[in-house]
Amino acid sequence: MREREGFTLIELLVVIAIIAVLMGILLPSLRRAREMGKRADCMSNLKNLVLVWVMYADDHDGRIPAGGTHGAVSWVDHTGLAVKKNREDQIAAIKKGVLWPYTKDLGLYRCPTATTVEARTYVMPDSYAYQSHELGLCNTHGADKSMLLKNRDTIERPAERMAFLDEGYASPVTWSIFYKEPRWWDPVPIRHGMGTCISFADGHIEYWKWRDGRTREFGEKAYALEDPDQASYWREVQPDNEDITRLVKAIWGRVGWR
């Protein structure tokens, strides 16, 4: 009789070992590629959102939407509504905001990687909180109220001034950082790797990767909590942290401690 051909046990084990090695090599690359795709989608959302922001300003003699989350001219309006982990109220706040008539696309307000309870992950920084200041709801953390931006025409170097950033969850207020000293106020976002996506007042988008190890460590620890805002250990002064300097300049146009 003709002898059957087949793999020996040793050959089979060798093949399995080779496949395991290849998977170990390829999986990290596949994860990075998948994350790059999600980052691109996030940046696309921010691009469209800031273009809507510009359209609103063009229709209102240059006035930009207020960056806070309460008030008649706020980009989203949570007045009387819950914020965190309440998707229905988050959606209602988006639809009450002044940008909604220009887009009517809920997808533009959130990163595709957000959890299902978050209808919004994007936030504006303190520099646009002019209505919050008028309502007595604003703490600029050292910056003078005269530095608040209300009209697009007053923004110097718009290519360097932040409009939105991806915080990863629905913020109840604006995104804050100390102005007069180099230290954090809000937890720094850890998104799409070790950084976050940011849109600028001229309409362009960037991904900022955090450069200082202390920034990355703080962000990881804070975002490991159920509520990152409950972190209480990040506010030490860090005069040589270039991530803090970079963000303060993007928000306020300059740093206040030099």
Q: What are the structural domain ranges in the chain?
A: 49-252
Residue 18 has pLDDT above 90, yes or no: no
Tens-digit pLDDT profile for residues 25-83? 766 655 665 766 788 999 999 999 999 999 999 999 999 999 989 889 999 999 999 88
Distance separating alpha carbons of residues 118 and 113, to the nearest angstrom: 10
Tens-digit pLDDT profile for residues 88-127? 999 999 999 999 999 999 999 999 988 888 999 999 999 9
Identify the pLDDT of residue 228.
Answer: 77
Q: Is 15 exposed, middle or buried (0-12, 13-18, 19+ CB in 10 A)?
A: exposed
Identify the pLDDT of residue 181.
Answer: 93
Identify the pLDDT of residue 47.
Answer: 95
Mean pLDDT value across the chain: 88
Tens-digit pLDDT profile for residues 169-182? 888 889 999 999 99
